[in-house]
Structure 1
Amino acid sequence: MRTIKLGTSQLDVPVVAIGCMRINSLEKGEAERFVRTAMDQGANFFDHADIYGKGVCEEIFADAVGMNASIREQMILQSKCGIRPGMFDFSKEHILASVDGILQRLKTDYLDILLLHRPDALVEPEEVAEAFDLLESSGKVRHFGVSNQKPMQIELLKKHVKQPIVANQLQLSITNATMISNGVNVNMENESAIDRDDSILDYCRLHDITVQPWSPFQYGFFEGVFLNNDKFPELNAKIDEIAANYGVSNTTIAIAWLLRHPAGMQPVTGTMNIERLIDCCKASDVHLTRQEWYEIFRAAGNILP
């Protein structure tokens, strides 16, 4: 598995991250095989959140790997906090309590990366800074990032937070690519020209923040996957054609499309199917041509002015 530096850190991470949101759908033996397969593929980066399964997913993961000091050093663990029932909460008190809960459930002394999950309208960046300082000085968290944030929200945090923001987890897929398409359609009078995220992709590239695309196979918010979906005949025909040329699956090509972008993204998978997991990891070895990338882009309904 190819690796990249996560943001401005010196942390080498695999180009494909393994999302654990659905690991509570697996029996213990299945979870053990799933995690072991990911590790065998070189995909040792596992993405969690304290709300996944209301914390159960982190517990299942720790049990599945038989967490101990030796195993812990073989993997990179990322988790997220800030979502509470009916609200978002970036208060110092909540961040610190959340991390303690995450560490207890994962049976570890530290997180490699902590992300703030969803923007809190009532955020006080001074409190976030205090929480980050305590987490870093105590050794509980080594790197920090955000999720679903646009440039000025990150800038507001950076006014007080001294730790580098190394990652921003954002919804992005071939069919959910407005952060790419609006840049192609600058100054055009069409729907694709609407900038809904304040040029977050360019901002992350300018500031060396690694974009972690979540739901890389979804269309809409959570309406379903676009692969093998009759709603996207042209897109699937093109992906299948290119997949056949490379001798890989359509799953591999969907991830390879994200990896081809020069931003140096780290897609977060969500599958609990071992075969699809392996197909996702194979994308590390596929480098689409510029023409192939644009053919897929256009087949998804994106226009070139």
Structure 2
Amino acid sequence: MRKLVIGNTNLEAPEIGLGCMRITGLKDKKEVRSLIDTAMDCGVNFFDHADIYDSGHAEEVFGEVVEPAMRQKMIIQSKCGIIPGKAYDFSKEHIVESVEKSLKRLKTDYLDLLLLHRPDTLMEPEEVAEAFEELEKSGKVRYFGVSNENSMQMELLNKYCGNRIKVNQLQFSIAHCDIIDSGLNVNVHEEAGINRDGSVLEYCRLKDITIQAWSPFQYGMFEGVFLGNEKFPKLNQLIDELAEKYQVTNNAIAVAWILRHPARIQTIVGTTNQQRLTDICKASEVKLSREEWYALYMAAGKVLP
């Protein structure tokens, strides 16, 4: 598994991480542990959580099956800031309290990364800065980031937070890539040229902020996956051809497309199937050519200007 450096930190991580949102759907804790062991065997020691995943139960189950000695070999990330169905809350009190609860559920003394989970328009960046300062000084969080934020939202936070934003987790796949579309359609009067996120891809590259891709197989917010989907016949045909060429599975090609980008995007996959995870990890061994990358992009229905 190839590695990348998170932001401008000294934290080296695998370019594929395991999202833990669905681990409570497994049959029992033994299966959860087996999935974690498979990930570690594949070089995936990066585990992505959030306090809202199954109302915190995902963190709890994870903490129950990971021994202290094993924890030292892991990079654990969690997210906070969403109160489901009610509000977003980036207040100092909520951030600190959320971290305390996540640490307790995960049975660990610290998080390697804490992300703020979707923007809070009532955010007071001074409060966020105070929370980050307290959590960092206490050793409870090593590094910080955000999820689903645009360039100016990160700029505002970094003004007060001492440039502590090291990660931005964004939905990104071959079939859901607005952050690519707008950059390719500059000065073109087309839907694809609409800049919806403040050139977040280029901003993150300029500021050494690592982009993490979530839902790498989805084509809409939660509309479904594009792999094997009759809505994407040309894309699936090309993916299958490349999978045969590189002797990997179709999901590995989908992830290899993300990993090919020079922004060094880390991909977070949420599978709970051990064989599928093993197959996906082979994406790290594939480097698509420039022609193959653009061919996949256009097979997804995109048109180059």
TM over 0.5: yes
Superposed structure 1 runs of 4+ greater than 4 Å apart = none
- Which runs of 5 or more residues in structure 2 are unaligned? none
In 2: Cα distance, 1:80 partner to 1:37 partner: 24
- 1:33 corresponding residue in structure 2: 34
- 1:73 corresponding residue in structure 2: 72
SS of residue matched to 1:244:
helix
- 2:259 corresponding residue in structure 1: 259
- 1:273 corresponding residue in structure 2: 273
- Which runs of 5 or more residues in structure 1 are unaligned? none
Counterparts of 1:1-305 in structure 2, within 5 Å, are: 1-26=1-26, 27-65=28-66, 67-68=67-68, 70-85=69-84, 86-305=86-305
Q: Deviations over 1:235-280 (max 9, x none)?
A: 0001001111001000000000000000000010011111111112
SS of residue matched to 1:267:
strand
In 2: Cα distance, 1:8 partner to 1:176 partner: 27
In 2: Cα distance, 1:92 partner to 1:148 partner: 20
1:63 alignment partner AA: E
Q: Deviations over 1:182-212 (max 9, x none)?
A: 1111111111111111100000000010000
Q: CA deviation at 1:64?
A: 2.4
In 1: Cα distance, 2:191 partner to 2:183 partner: 12
1:84 alignment partner AA: I
User: What is the TM-score normalised by the length of structure 2?
Assistant: 0.98
Percent identical residues? 59
In 2: Cα distance, 1:216 partner to 1:105 partner: 27
Q: Deviations over 1:150-177 (max 9, x none)?
A: 0110111111102521110000011001
In 2: Cα distance, 1:275 partner to 1:182 partner: 36
Q: Deviations over 1:70-93 (max 9, x none)?
A: 111110000000001310000000
1:257 alignment partner AA: W
Contact 1:143 1:163 in 2 (8 A): no
SS of residue matched to 2:119:
coil
- When the two chains are superposed, the root-mean-square deviation of aligned CA atoms in Å is 0.7
In 2: Cα distance, 1:212 partner to 1:176 partner: 14
User: What is the TM-score normalised by the length of structure 1?
Assistant: 0.98
